[in-house]
Structure 1
Protein backbone atom coordinates (compact mmCIF):
# COMPACT_ATOMS: atom_id res chain seq x y z
CA UNK A 1 0.00 0.00 0.00
CA UNK A 2 1.16 3.52 -0.79
CA UNK A 3 2.46 5.14 2.40
CA UNK A 4 4.88 7.87 1.26
CA UNK A 5 5.28 10.54 -1.41
CA UNK A 6 8.69 11.86 -2.47
CA UNK A 7 9.00 15.18 -4.31
CA UNK A 8 11.75 16.91 -6.20
CA UNK A 9 11.87 20.58 -5.19
CA UNK A 10 12.87 22.89 -8.06
CA UNK A 11 10.22 22.71 -10.75
CA UNK A 12 7.88 20.48 -8.73
CA UNK A 13 7.27 22.33 -5.47
CA UNK A 14 8.65 25.79 -6.32
CA UNK A 15 9.03 27.69 -9.58
CA UNK A 16 12.75 28.40 -9.19
CA UNK A 17 14.56 26.98 -12.20
CA UNK A 18 14.49 30.12 -14.38
CA UNK A 19 16.51 31.87 -11.65
CA UNK A 20 18.92 28.94 -11.34
CA UNK A 21 19.35 28.99 -15.13
CA UNK A 22 20.04 32.72 -15.21
CA UNK A 23 22.60 32.41 -12.40
CA UNK A 24 24.40 29.54 -14.15
CA UNK A 25 24.42 31.45 -17.44
CA UNK A 26 25.94 34.52 -15.79
CA UNK A 27 28.65 32.42 -14.15
CA UNK A 28 29.40 30.58 -17.37
CA UNK A 29 29.84 33.85 -19.26
CA UNK A 30 32.24 35.10 -16.59
CA UNK A 31 34.55 32.12 -17.11
CA UNK A 32 34.18 31.88 -20.89
CA UNK A 33 31.97 28.80 -21.16
CA UNK A 34 28.64 30.05 -22.49
CA UNK A 35 25.66 27.79 -21.82
CA UNK A 36 21.94 28.15 -22.52
CA UNK A 37 18.88 27.79 -20.32
CA UNK A 38 18.07 24.58 -22.23
CA UNK A 39 21.47 23.20 -21.17
CA UNK A 40 20.60 23.93 -17.55
CA UNK A 41 17.17 22.31 -17.72
CA UNK A 42 18.76 19.17 -19.20
CA UNK A 43 20.91 18.71 -16.07
CA UNK A 44 18.36 19.94 -13.54
CA UNK A 45 18.42 17.82 -10.41
CA UNK A 46 22.13 17.07 -10.37
CA UNK A 47 23.95 18.34 -7.31
CA UNK A 48 25.95 21.48 -7.98
CA UNK A 49 29.37 19.89 -8.23
CA UNK A 50 28.27 17.16 -10.64
CA UNK A 51 26.14 19.61 -12.60
CA UNK A 52 28.97 22.11 -12.88
CA UNK A 53 31.38 19.47 -14.14
CA UNK A 54 28.90 18.17 -16.71
CA UNK A 55 27.86 21.64 -17.88
CA UNK A 56 31.27 22.99 -18.62
CA UNK A 57 32.48 19.78 -20.24
CA UNK A 58 29.45 20.07 -22.53
CA UNK A 59 30.23 23.72 -23.23
CA UNK A 60 33.89 23.03 -23.93
CA UNK A 61 35.02 24.95 -20.86
CA UNK A 62 38.08 23.89 -18.93
CA UNK A 63 37.79 24.26 -15.17
CA UNK A 64 40.31 23.17 -12.59
CA UNK A 65 38.74 21.39 -9.66
CA UNK A 66 40.21 23.92 -7.24
CA UNK A 67 37.96 26.57 -8.84
CA UNK A 68 34.73 24.67 -8.11
CA UNK A 69 34.00 26.13 -4.68
CA UNK A 70 34.54 29.71 -5.84
CA UNK A 71 32.37 29.24 -8.93
CA UNK A 72 29.62 27.52 -6.98
CA UNK A 73 29.58 30.27 -4.36
CA UNK A 74 29.35 32.87 -7.13
CA UNK A 75 26.39 31.00 -8.62
CA UNK A 76 24.64 30.85 -5.23
CA UNK A 77 25.26 34.58 -4.68
CA UNK A 78 23.75 35.47 -8.07
CA UNK A 79 20.75 33.18 -7.53
CA UNK A 80 20.09 34.68 -4.10
CA UNK A 81 20.23 38.21 -5.49
CA UNK A 82 17.80 37.65 -8.38
CA UNK A 83 15.44 34.89 -7.19
CA UNK A 84 11.77 35.65 -6.65
CA UNK A 85 10.73 32.08 -5.99
CA UNK A 86 7.09 31.11 -5.51
CA UNK A 87 5.41 27.75 -4.86
CA UNK A 88 3.33 26.38 -7.70
CA UNK A 89 -0.39 27.10 -7.45
CA UNK A 90 -2.23 24.55 -5.36
CA UNK A 91 0.83 22.68 -4.10
CA UNK A 92 0.78 23.96 -0.51
CA UNK A 93 -2.89 23.04 0.02
CA UNK A 94 -2.41 19.70 -1.71
CA UNK A 95 0.58 18.80 0.46
CA UNK A 96 -1.30 19.74 3.64
CA UNK A 97 -4.05 17.34 2.59
CA UNK A 98 -1.51 14.61 1.74
CA UNK A 99 0.18 15.04 5.12
CA UNK A 100 -2.78 13.46 6.89
CA UNK A 101 -2.37 10.13 5.10
CA UNK A 102 1.20 9.94 3.82
CA UNK A 103 4.77 10.53 4.95
CA UNK A 104 6.35 13.19 2.74
CA UNK A 105 9.93 13.70 1.58
CA UNK A 106 11.92 16.13 -0.57
CA UNK A 107 14.86 14.95 -2.67
CA UNK A 108 16.79 17.73 -4.40
CA UNK A 109 20.20 18.60 -5.75
CA UNK A 110 20.04 22.05 -4.15
CA UNK A 111 22.11 22.93 -1.10
CA UNK A 112 20.47 22.30 2.28
CA UNK A 113 20.38 25.94 3.38
CA UNK A 114 18.30 26.80 0.29
CA UNK A 115 16.01 23.80 0.71
CA UNK A 116 15.29 24.51 4.37
CA UNK A 117 14.66 28.18 3.61
CA UNK A 118 12.03 27.33 0.98
CA UNK A 119 10.45 24.63 3.12
CA UNK A 120 10.18 26.96 6.13
CA UNK A 121 8.77 29.74 3.97
CA UNK A 122 6.28 27.82 1.82
CA UNK A 123 5.67 24.39 3.40
CA UNK A 124 6.34 24.66 7.15
CA UNK A 125 6.02 21.41 9.07
CA UNK A 126 5.04 19.42 6.00
CA UNK A 127 8.03 17.23 5.17
CA UNK A 128 9.29 14.34 7.29
CA UNK A 129 12.53 13.84 5.34
CA UNK A 130 14.81 16.15 3.34
CA UNK A 131 17.67 14.86 1.17
CA UNK A 132 19.75 17.73 -0.24
CA UNK A 133 22.61 17.72 -2.72
CA UNK A 134 25.09 17.79 0.15
CA UNK A 135 23.67 14.64 1.74
CA UNK A 136 24.83 12.23 -0.97
CA UNK A 137 28.08 11.50 -2.75
CA UNK A 138 26.49 10.61 -6.08
CA UNK A 139 23.56 12.90 -6.86
CA UNK A 140 20.96 12.56 -9.59
CA UNK A 141 20.98 10.81 -12.11
CA UNK A 142 22.50 8.21 -9.76
CA UNK A 143 19.98 6.38 -7.56
CA UNK A 144 21.61 7.32 -4.24
CA UNK A 145 19.38 10.34 -3.40
CA UNK A 146 16.14 8.37 -3.70
CA UNK A 147 17.53 5.27 -2.02
CA UNK A 148 18.55 7.48 0.90
CA UNK A 149 15.04 8.95 1.11
CA UNK A 150 13.49 5.47 1.17
CA UNK A 151 15.91 4.49 3.94
CA UNK A 152 15.17 7.59 6.01
CA UNK A 153 11.41 7.12 5.56
CA UNK A 154 11.79 3.54 6.79
CA UNK A 155 9.65 2.09 4.01
CA UNK A 156 9.79 -0.46 1.21
CA UNK A 157 10.26 0.77 -2.35
CA UNK A 158 6.77 -0.40 -3.28
CA UNK A 159 5.24 1.91 -0.67
CA UNK A 160 6.15 5.22 -2.33
CA UNK A 161 5.98 7.21 -5.51
CA UNK A 162 8.27 9.97 -6.75
CA UNK A 163 7.24 13.22 -8.46
CA UNK A 164 9.91 14.59 -10.79
CA UNK A 165 10.12 17.20 -13.54
CA UNK A 166 13.66 16.69 -14.87
CA UNK A 167 15.25 13.95 -17.00
CA UNK A 168 18.06 13.33 -14.52
CA UNK A 169 15.60 13.14 -11.65
CA UNK A 170 13.40 10.63 -13.46
CA UNK A 171 16.47 8.53 -14.26
CA UNK A 172 17.54 8.66 -10.61
CA UNK A 173 14.13 7.51 -9.37
CA UNK A 174 13.87 4.68 -11.88
CA UNK A 175 17.42 3.48 -11.18
CA UNK A 176 16.40 3.36 -7.51
CA UNK A 177 13.53 1.06 -8.49
CA UNK A 178 10.74 3.52 -7.67
CA UNK A 179 7.47 4.42 -9.39
CA UNK A 180 7.92 7.87 -10.94
CA UNK A 181 5.39 10.51 -11.97
CA UNK A 182 6.74 13.06 -14.44
CA UNK A 183 5.63 16.68 -14.75
CA UNK A 184 7.21 18.52 -17.74
CA UNK A 185 7.56 21.92 -16.11
CA UNK A 186 10.50 23.23 -18.14
CA UNK A 187 11.17 20.48 -20.71
CA UNK A 188 9.09 18.75 -23.37
CA UNK A 189 7.16 15.67 -22.19
CA UNK A 190 9.27 13.31 -24.32
CA UNK A 191 12.30 14.20 -22.18
CA UNK A 192 10.57 12.43 -19.28
CA UNK A 193 9.72 9.26 -21.21
CA UNK A 194 11.42 7.05 -18.60
CA UNK A 195 8.74 8.00 -16.05
CA UNK A 196 5.91 5.55 -15.40
CA UNK A 197 3.37 8.25 -16.13
CA UNK A 198 3.81 11.80 -17.52
CA UNK A 199 1.17 14.34 -16.54
CA UNK A 200 0.35 17.54 -18.39
CA UNK A 201 1.01 20.18 -15.73
CA UNK A 202 0.72 21.00 -12.03
CA UNK A 203 -3.07 21.10 -12.14
CA UNK A 204 -3.00 17.52 -13.43
CA UNK A 205 -0.50 16.65 -10.70
CA UNK A 206 -2.68 17.90 -7.85
CA UNK A 207 -5.70 16.09 -9.35
CA UNK A 208 -3.61 12.90 -9.53
CA UNK A 209 -2.49 13.23 -5.90
CA UNK A 210 -6.00 13.99 -4.61
CA UNK A 211 -7.20 10.84 -6.41
CA UNK A 212 -4.59 8.81 -4.52
CA UNK A 213 -5.65 10.48 -1.28
CA UNK A 214 -9.29 9.63 -1.90
CA UNK A 215 -8.39 6.02 -2.74
CA UNK A 216 -6.35 5.81 0.46
CA UNK A 217 -9.22 7.22 2.51
CA UNK A 218 -11.70 4.76 0.99
CA UNK A 219 -9.38 1.84 1.71
CA UNK A 220 -8.71 2.79 5.32
Structure 2
Protein backbone atom coordinates (compact mmCIF):
# COMPACT_ATOMS: atom_id res chain seq x y z
CA UNK A 1 0.00 0.00 0.00
CA UNK A 2 2.97 2.35 -0.36
CA UNK A 3 1.21 4.06 -3.30
CA UNK A 4 -0.48 6.25 -0.70
CA UNK A 5 0.91 9.64 0.24
CA UNK A 6 -1.82 10.81 2.62
CA UNK A 7 -3.81 9.22 5.43
CA UNK A 8 -7.18 10.90 6.09
CA UNK A 9 -8.91 10.19 9.40
CA UNK A 10 -12.46 10.67 10.55
CA UNK A 11 -12.46 12.01 14.11
CA UNK A 12 -15.45 10.83 16.16
CA UNK A 13 -15.26 7.09 16.69
CA UNK A 14 -11.88 6.81 14.95
CA UNK A 15 -9.42 9.07 16.78
CA UNK A 16 -11.58 10.28 19.65
CA UNK A 17 -13.65 8.04 21.88
CA UNK A 18 -16.49 10.57 21.63
CA UNK A 19 -19.53 8.77 20.28
CA UNK A 20 -21.17 8.01 23.64
CA UNK A 21 -20.76 11.61 24.83
CA UNK A 22 -22.03 12.99 21.53
CA UNK A 23 -25.04 10.71 21.68
CA UNK A 24 -25.83 11.81 25.23
CA UNK A 25 -25.62 15.46 24.18
CA UNK A 26 -27.89 14.96 21.17
CA UNK A 27 -30.37 12.89 23.17
CA UNK A 28 -30.54 15.44 25.99
CA UNK A 29 -31.13 18.43 23.71
CA UNK A 30 -33.51 16.68 21.32
CA UNK A 31 -35.67 15.47 24.20
CA UNK A 32 -36.40 19.13 24.98
CA UNK A 33 -37.94 19.35 21.50
CA UNK A 34 -39.99 16.19 21.95
CA UNK A 35 -37.67 14.06 19.82
CA UNK A 36 -36.40 10.64 20.85
CA UNK A 37 -33.08 9.47 19.42
CA UNK A 38 -31.87 5.91 19.87
CA UNK A 39 -28.19 5.04 20.08
CA UNK A 40 -28.40 2.70 17.08
CA UNK A 41 -30.04 5.43 15.00
CA UNK A 42 -27.38 7.98 15.93
CA UNK A 43 -24.40 5.69 15.41
CA UNK A 44 -25.57 4.83 11.89
CA UNK A 45 -26.00 8.54 11.09
CA UNK A 46 -22.53 9.44 12.36
CA UNK A 47 -20.65 11.50 9.81
CA UNK A 48 -23.56 13.69 8.74
CA UNK A 49 -22.90 17.43 9.13
CA UNK A 50 -24.33 18.57 12.47
CA UNK A 51 -26.73 21.11 10.97
CA UNK A 52 -27.93 18.59 8.39
CA UNK A 53 -28.36 15.97 11.11
CA UNK A 54 -30.48 18.35 13.18
CA UNK A 55 -32.61 19.21 10.13
CA UNK A 56 -33.02 15.52 9.30
CA UNK A 57 -34.20 14.64 12.80
CA UNK A 58 -36.50 17.65 13.02
CA UNK A 59 -38.07 16.88 9.65
CA UNK A 60 -38.46 13.19 10.48
CA UNK A 61 -40.37 14.13 13.62
CA UNK A 62 -42.54 16.80 12.01
CA UNK A 63 -40.73 19.72 13.66
CA UNK A 64 -39.63 23.10 12.32
CA UNK A 65 -36.26 22.66 10.60
CA UNK A 66 -35.52 26.36 11.10
CA UNK A 67 -34.58 25.47 14.68
CA UNK A 68 -31.65 23.31 13.56
CA UNK A 69 -28.99 25.91 14.38
CA UNK A 70 -30.49 26.40 17.84
CA UNK A 71 -30.34 22.66 18.49
CA UNK A 72 -26.75 22.33 17.28
CA UNK A 73 -25.63 25.25 19.46
CA UNK A 74 -27.26 23.70 22.53
CA UNK A 75 -25.84 20.26 21.70
CA UNK A 76 -22.28 21.56 21.33
CA UNK A 77 -22.54 23.53 24.58
CA UNK A 78 -23.82 20.45 26.42
CA UNK A 79 -21.02 18.31 24.97
CA UNK A 80 -18.23 20.73 25.89
CA UNK A 81 -19.50 20.95 29.48
CA UNK A 82 -20.08 17.22 30.00
CA UNK A 83 -17.68 15.21 27.83
CA UNK A 84 -15.06 12.76 29.07
CA UNK A 85 -12.76 12.92 26.07
CA UNK A 86 -10.13 10.27 25.49
CA UNK A 87 -8.26 8.80 22.54
CA UNK A 88 -8.60 5.24 21.37
CA UNK A 89 -5.70 3.02 22.36
CA UNK A 90 -2.74 3.34 20.02
CA UNK A 91 -3.80 6.61 18.39
CA UNK A 92 -0.89 8.79 19.52
CA UNK A 93 1.76 6.19 18.77
CA UNK A 94 0.29 5.37 15.36
CA UNK A 95 -0.05 9.02 14.32
CA UNK A 96 3.53 9.77 15.38
CA UNK A 97 4.79 6.72 13.47
CA UNK A 98 2.89 7.61 10.29
CA UNK A 99 4.12 11.20 10.48
CA UNK A 100 7.67 9.99 10.99
CA UNK A 101 7.30 7.68 8.00
CA UNK A 102 6.60 10.67 5.77
CA UNK A 103 2.84 10.48 5.32
CA UNK A 104 0.69 13.60 5.01
CA UNK A 105 -2.08 13.47 7.62
CA UNK A 106 -5.55 14.99 7.73
CA UNK A 107 -8.62 14.94 9.93
CA UNK A 108 -11.89 14.98 7.97
CA UNK A 109 -14.84 15.29 10.31
CA UNK A 110 -18.46 16.42 10.43
CA UNK A 111 -17.68 18.00 13.80
CA UNK A 112 -17.44 21.76 14.14
CA UNK A 113 -13.85 22.96 14.36
CA UNK A 114 -14.46 24.63 17.72
CA UNK A 115 -15.49 21.35 19.34
CA UNK A 116 -12.70 19.36 17.75
CA UNK A 117 -9.99 21.87 18.65
CA UNK A 118 -11.30 22.21 22.20
CA UNK A 119 -11.17 18.47 22.83
CA UNK A 120 -8.23 17.05 20.86
CA UNK A 121 -4.88 17.55 22.58
CA UNK A 122 -3.05 20.51 20.94
CA UNK A 123 0.21 18.59 20.54
CA UNK A 124 -1.57 15.84 18.61
CA UNK A 125 -3.65 18.27 16.55
CA UNK A 126 -0.40 19.83 15.31
CA UNK A 127 0.63 16.50 13.78
CA UNK A 128 -2.04 16.89 11.10
CA UNK A 129 -1.25 18.82 7.94
CA UNK A 130 -4.86 19.90 7.51
CA UNK A 131 -8.17 19.64 9.35
CA UNK A 132 -11.45 19.68 7.43
CA UNK A 133 -14.56 20.10 9.59
CA UNK A 134 -18.27 20.27 8.89
CA UNK A 135 -18.43 24.03 9.28
CA UNK A 136 -15.77 24.55 6.58
CA UNK A 137 -17.60 22.98 3.64
CA UNK A 138 -21.00 23.30 1.98
CA UNK A 139 -21.71 19.63 1.33
CA UNK A 140 -20.74 17.08 3.95
CA UNK A 141 -20.55 13.30 3.97
CA UNK A 142 -21.75 11.16 2.17
CA UNK A 143 -20.82 13.63 -0.58
CA UNK A 144 -17.13 13.36 -1.51
CA UNK A 145 -16.47 17.07 -0.89
CA UNK A 146 -14.84 16.78 2.58
CA UNK A 147 -12.33 14.19 1.43
CA UNK A 148 -11.68 15.86 -1.91
CA UNK A 149 -11.07 19.15 -0.09
CA UNK A 150 -8.55 17.45 2.19
CA UNK A 151 -6.71 15.91 -0.78
CA UNK A 152 -6.56 19.29 -2.49
CA UNK A 153 -5.18 20.97 0.63
CA UNK A 154 -2.57 18.22 0.98
CA UNK A 155 -1.63 18.67 -2.68
CA UNK A 156 -2.20 15.03 -3.64
CA UNK A 157 -4.58 13.04 -5.84
CA UNK A 158 -7.60 11.16 -4.42
CA UNK A 159 -6.01 7.89 -5.56
CA UNK A 160 -3.04 8.70 -3.30
CA UNK A 161 -5.26 8.93 -0.21
CA UNK A 162 -6.13 6.25 2.32
CA UNK A 163 -9.18 6.99 4.48
CA UNK A 164 -9.85 5.61 7.96
CA UNK A 165 -13.54 5.55 8.89
CA UNK A 166 -15.96 3.91 11.33
CA UNK A 167 -19.42 4.48 9.85
CA UNK A 168 -21.31 3.79 6.59
CA UNK A 169 -21.83 7.45 5.67
CA UNK A 170 -18.13 8.21 6.00
CA UNK A 171 -17.19 5.13 4.01
CA UNK A 172 -19.60 6.19 1.27
CA UNK A 173 -18.00 9.65 1.19
CA UNK A 174 -14.52 8.15 0.86
CA UNK A 175 -15.56 5.81 -1.94
CA UNK A 176 -17.43 8.63 -3.71
CA UNK A 177 -14.14 10.54 -3.61
CA UNK A 178 -12.34 7.64 -5.29
CA UNK A 179 -10.26 6.79 -2.24
CA UNK A 180 -9.22 3.53 -0.58
CA UNK A 181 -10.99 3.10 2.76
CA UNK A 182 -10.17 1.12 5.87
CA UNK A 183 -13.00 0.81 8.41
CA UNK A 184 -12.54 0.22 12.13
CA UNK A 185 -15.17 -1.68 14.14
CA UNK A 186 -14.90 0.78 17.03
CA UNK A 187 -18.58 1.73 17.12
CA UNK A 188 -20.43 -0.54 14.68
CA UNK A 189 -20.41 -4.20 13.73
CA UNK A 190 -18.57 -5.06 10.53
CA UNK A 191 -21.87 -5.89 8.80
CA UNK A 192 -22.50 -2.12 8.58
CA UNK A 193 -19.03 -1.45 7.14
CA UNK A 194 -19.10 -3.79 4.16
CA UNK A 195 -18.48 -1.07 1.55
CA UNK A 196 -15.00 -0.41 2.95
CA UNK A 197 -12.02 -1.94 1.15
CA UNK A 198 -10.71 -3.39 4.41
CA UNK A 199 -12.13 -3.83 7.91
CA UNK A 200 -9.95 -3.98 11.03
CA UNK A 201 -10.70 -4.34 14.71
CA UNK A 202 -8.89 -1.38 16.24
CA UNK A 203 -6.72 1.65 15.54
CA UNK A 204 -3.47 -0.07 16.51
CA UNK A 205 -3.90 -2.51 13.62
CA UNK A 206 -3.46 0.31 11.08
CA UNK A 207 0.31 0.05 10.99
CA UNK A 208 0.00 -3.55 9.81
CA UNK A 209 -1.93 -2.25 6.78
CA UNK A 210 0.21 0.77 5.86
CA UNK A 211 3.78 0.39 4.66
CA UNK A 212 6.47 2.95 5.49
CA UNK A 213 7.13 5.47 2.72
TM range (shorter): over 0.9
Tell me how many residue pairs correspond in the alignment: 210
- What's the TM-score once normalised by structure 2's chain length? 0.93
Q: Quote the RMSD (CA, aligned, Å).
A: 1.5
Secondary structure, aligned partner of 2:185: coil
> Residue 94 of structure 2 corresponds to which residue in structure 1?
94
Secondary structure, aligned partner of 1:99: helix
Which runs of structure 2 are paired with 1:1-220 in the superposition (5 Å)? 1-57=3-59, 60-100=60-100, 101-121=102-122, 123-209=124-210, 212-213=211-212, 216=213
The answer as to whether partners of 2:80 and 2:115 remain within 8 angstroms in 1 is no
The answer as to whether partners of 1:183 and 1:205 remain within 8 angstroms in 2 is no
Deviation track 1:164-216 (CA, whole Å, cap 9, x = no partner) reads 0011100000011110000121111111111011112223234334xx22xx3
1:160 is displaced (CA, Å) by 1.4
1:64 is displaced (CA, Å) by 1.9
Q: Which moved more, 1:170-179 or 1:46-55?
A: 46-55
1:83 is displaced (CA, Å) by 0.5
Deviation track 1:25-65 (CA, whole Å, cap 9, x = no partner) reads 111211111111111101101110111122334xx412323
The answer as to whether partners of 2:45 and 2:169 remain within 8 angstroms in 1 is yes
Query: What is the alpha-carbon distance in structure 2 between the residues aligned to residue 39 and residue 179 of structure 1?
Result: 26
1:71 is displaced (CA, Å) by 1.0
Unaligned runs of 5+ in 2: none
1:70 is displaced (CA, Å) by 1.2
1:117 is displaced (CA, Å) by 2.5
Query: What is the alpha-carbon distance in structure 2 between the residues aligned to residue 14 and residue 136 of structure 1?
Result: 21
Unaligned runs of 5+ in 1: none
- What's the TM-score once normalised by structure 1's chain length? 0.90
Runs of 4+ in 1 over 6 A off after TM superposition: none
The answer as to whether partners of 1:91 and 1:206 remain within 8 angstroms in 2 is no
The answer as to whether partners of 1:8 and 1:106 remain within 8 angstroms in 2 is yes
Q: Which moved more, 1:121-130 or 1:39-48?
A: 121-130
